[in-house]
Structure 1
Amino acid sequence: MIGYVWHQEDRILEVSPVGKLTAEDFQLLAAQIDPIIRKQGRIVGLLVNATDFVGWESLVAMISHFRFIRDHQRHIRRIAVISDSPILRFMPSLACHFISAEVRPFPVGESAQALEWLEKPG
């Protein structure tokens, strides 16, 4: 399951993956984000609270995740990833080579700082 909440009048989306993610999770997330992107052209930021991320239910779910990233990354200016996992904290440095959004990791407990970074112009 992916929980979500919008901040700043649909300018920043906070997502919280919980448990093993399914392909349907990304279809539901796309159904939430796509109308906003069509209306605004893009969103300012994506805050990924990955503290409870445990992986994917199947290979199909993982591929759905990668497709979601491919299809949406050019419509997001910045991405903040909150996690204390060494692997997830490393992913933003790798991701910046494949996506156009600026990506930055934040440790657990710094959600406010991550949101503040996403809100900054630039």
Structure 2
Amino acid sequence: MIEHCWHHDHDILEIRPVADLRPAEFRALAAQVDPVICQHGYLQGLLIDARHYRGWQNFAALVSHCVFTRNQHRHLHRIAVLSDNTLLGFMPQLLNHFVSAEVRPFPGSEEASALEWLSHPG
């Protein structure tokens, strides 16, 4: 399950994966995000709150996640990842090879700092 909310008048999308991720979750999220991108042309930032991330339900969910990222990353300026997990701390370095957005990790306790960084144009 992916919970989401908007910050700064739909400039920043916050997503919180709270259970095993399924393919339908990414289709539902895209249905929420695509109209905003069409209206504004881009998203200033994406905040991924991965503090409670448990993983994908199966390989199809992983593929859906990759498709969602491939389709949306060109419309993002910055991505912040909140996590205290050591392995997820490497996620921004990995993402930098696949997305055009600037990606930066933040410790789980620094949500306000992450939102502040996302709100400034890169």
Length-normalised TM-score, structure 2 = 0.98
CA–CA separation in structure 1 for the residues paired with 2:106 and 2:29: 22
Q: Which amino acid aligns with 2:41?
A: G
Q: Which amino acid aligns with 2:86?
A: P
Match of 1:120 in 2: 120
Q: State the partner residue of 1:76.
A: 76
Q: Aligned-pair distance for 1:121?
A: 2.2
1:13 alignment counterpart:
13
Higher strand share: 1
The alpha-carbon deviation at position 102 of structure 1 amounts to 0.2
Give me the whole-angstrom Cα distance separating, in 2, the residues matched to 1:102 and 1:87.
19
Alignment RMSD: 0.6
Q: Give the gaps of 5 or more residues in structure 1.
A: none
- Check whether the contact 2:92–2:103 (CA below 8 A) recurs between aligned residues: yes
Partner of 1:56: 56
Query: Residue 94 of structure 2 corresponds to which residue in structure 1?
Result: 94
- Counterpart of 2:99 in 1: which secondary structure? coil
Looking at structure 1, the residues matched to 98 and 4 of structure 2 have their Cα atoms a distance apart, in angstroms, of 24
Q: Which runs of 5+ in 2 are unaligned?
A: none
Query: How many aligned positions are there?
Result: 122
**Contact map agreement 2:12 2:43 (CA 8 A) in 1:** yes
The DSSP-based 3-state class of the residue aligned with 1:54 is coil
- Tell me, in whole angstroms, the C-alpha distance in 1 between the residues paired with 2:95 and 2:2: 20
Once residues 41 and 120 of structure 2 are traced to their aligned partners in structure 1, the CA distance between those partners, rounded to angstroms, is 18
User: Are the aligned partners of 2:77 and 2:121 in contact in 1 as well (CA < 8 Å)?
Assistant: no
Identity of aligned residues (%): 51
**How far off is 1:15 after superposition?**
0.4
Runs of 4+ in 1 over 6 A off after TM superposition: none
The one-letter amino acid paired with 1:55 is: G
